A and B are shown apart, each in its own frame.
Chain A
Amino acid sequence: MLHRDRIPRLWVFLQAVLVVALGFSDMALGFSDMETGPGGAGVSVQQPNGDRFKIEGRAVVPGVKTQDWVSSARIFVEGEEFVGFVRTDGSFAVNDVPSGSYVVEVITPNYRFEPVRVDITSKGKMRARLVNYIKTSEVIRQPYPLQIRANGPQTYFMKRETWGWTDFLMNPMVMMMVLPLLIIVLLPKVVNTNDPEMRKEMEQSMNMLNPNPELPDVSELMTKLFSGGSKPSSKAITSKGTRPAVKRR
Chain B
Amino acid sequence: MAKLIWLCLNFVILCSTAGAVFEDQVGKFDWRQQYVGKVIFSNFDAQSQSSKKVIVATENNVFASLNIRTGELFWRHVDAIGPEGKIDALLHHGQDALLVVGDGRLLRSWEINIGGLNWEIVLDSGSFQSACLIGQQDIVKHVAVLKKTAISLHYLSNGHQKWIENLPESETVDYQSVYSGGNGEVYVLGIVPHSHIAIVVYSLDDGEIIRQFSVEAPWLSNIQASCAVIGEGMLTCADSATVSLYMLDLESQTEMSQIPLQSLGLEVTPGFQPVLRSTQPNAARPPLSEFFLQVGPEQHLLLQLNDGQIVTLRDFNPALLVSFATTGEKTIAAVMSPKNTTACTVNLFSAETGRRLLDTTLIFPLDPNGGKPEELYVQAFLKKDDSVGYRVMVQTEDHTLTFIQQPGRVMWTREEALSDVVTMEMVDLPLTGTQAELEGEFGKKADGLFSMVLKRLSSQLILLQAWISHLWKLFYDARKPRSQVKNEVTIENLSRDEFNLQKMMVMVTASGKLFGIDSKTGTIVWRHYLDNIPANAAFKLMVQRTTAHFPHPPQCTLLIKDKDTGLATLHVFNPIFGKKSHVTPPAMPQPILQSLMLPVMDQDYAKVLLLVDDQYKVSAFPSTKNVLQQLQEIASTIFFYLVDSSQGRLSGYRLRTDLSTELIWEVVVPTEVQKIVSVKGKRPNEHVHSQGRVMGDRSVLYKYLNPNLLAVVTESTDTHPERSFMGILLIDGVTGRIIHEAVQRKAKGPVHIVHSENWVVYEYWSTKSRRNEFSVIELYEGTELYNSTVFSSLDRPHAPQVLQQSYIFPSSISTMEATLTEKGITSRHLLIGLPSGGILSLPKMFLDPRRPEIVTEQSREENLIPYAPELLIRSEWFINYNQTVTRVRGIYTAPSGLESTCLVVAYGLDIYQTRVYPSKQFDVLKDDYDYMLISSVLLALFFATMISKRLAEVKLLNRAWR
Contact = CB atoms under 8 A, between A and B. Distances in A.
Interface of A: 4, 8, 11-12, 23, 26, 29-30, 43-45, 54, 66-67, 70-72, 74, 76, 78-83, 85-88, 93, 95-96, 101, 105, 107, 109-110, 112, 115, 131, 133-134, 136, 154-161, 163, 225-226, 229, 237-238, 240-244, 247-248
Nearest to A238: B783
A43 B723 CA distance: 13
B115 interface: yes
Contact of A87 (B117, B808, B814): B117
Contacts of A86: 116-117
18 contacts: A30-B769, A54-B122, A70-B116, A74-B77, A74-B78, A79-B811, A80-B812, A85-B120, A87-B117, A93-B120, A107-B835, A134-B869, A136-B770, A154-B882, A160-B24, A163-B933, A241-B699, A244-B697
Pairs A-B, 10 closest by C-beta atoms: A71-B115, A88-B116, A79-B812, A156-B881, A241-B699, A109-B882, A71-B75, A157-B23, A158-B20, A83-B80
Contacts of A101: 770
Contact of B80 (A30, A82, A109, A238): A82
A156 B802 CA distance: 37
A203 to B, nearest CB: 29
Nearest to B928: A160
Nearest to B806: A22
A135 B78 CA distance: 33
A23 B806 CA distance: 13
B882 A156 contact: yes
Interface string B58-99: 000000000000000001011111001100000000000000
Nearest to A19: B804
Interface of B: 20-24, 75, 77-81, 84-85, 105-106, 108, 111, 114-120, 122, 695-699, 720-721, 745, 767-771, 782-784, 799, 801-802, 808, 810-812, 814, 835-837, 852, 856, 858, 869-870, 875-876, 878, 881-884, 887, 928, 930, 933
B31 to A, nearest CB: 16
Central interface residue in A30, A87, A101, by most chain B CB within 10 Å: A87
Nearest to B836: A107
Contacts of B23: 157, 160
Nearest to A26: B768
Interface class of chain A by DSSP: mixed
B21 A156 contact: yes
A26 B771 CA distance: 14
Given A8-B801, A80-B887, 13 more contacts: A23-B745, A26-B769, A71-B115, A82-B84, A83-B78, A83-B85, A95-B105, A107-B837, A133-B771, A133-B870, A154-B882, A157-B22, A248-B856
Given A107-B836, A160-B24, A229 B698 contact: yes
B812 A78 contact: yes
A240 B836 contact: no
Contacts of B811: 79
Nearest to B773: A133
Central interface residue in B75, B699, B770, B882, by most chain A CB within 10 Å: B770
B118 A109 contact: no
A129 B178 CA distance: 46
Contacts of B111: 88
A156 B696 contact: no
Contacts of B24: 160
B771 A136 contact: yes
Contacts of B81: 80
A88 B836 CA distance: 21
Given A44-B721, A240-B697, A30 B869 contact: no
Contacts of B117: 70, 85-88
A30 B782 contact: no
B697 A133 contact: no
Contact of A161 (B105, B114, B852, B928): B928
Contact of B875 (A54, A82, A134, A155): A155
B698 A226 contact: yes
A110 to B, nearest CB: 5
Nearest to A137: B769
Nearest to B801: A8
A157 B21 contact: yes
B883 to A, nearest CB: 8
Nearest to B887: A80
A157 B852 CA distance: 31
A157 B721 contact: no
A180 to B, nearest CB: 19
Given A44-B770, A86-B117, A225 B85 contact: no
A88 B835 CA distance: 23
A112 B802 CA distance: 39
Contacts of A110: 882
Nearest to B812: A79
Contacts of B881: 154, 156-157
Contacts of A154: 875, 881-882
Nearest to B871: A133
A153 B355 CA distance: 59
A91 to B, nearest CB: 9
A158 B21 contact: yes
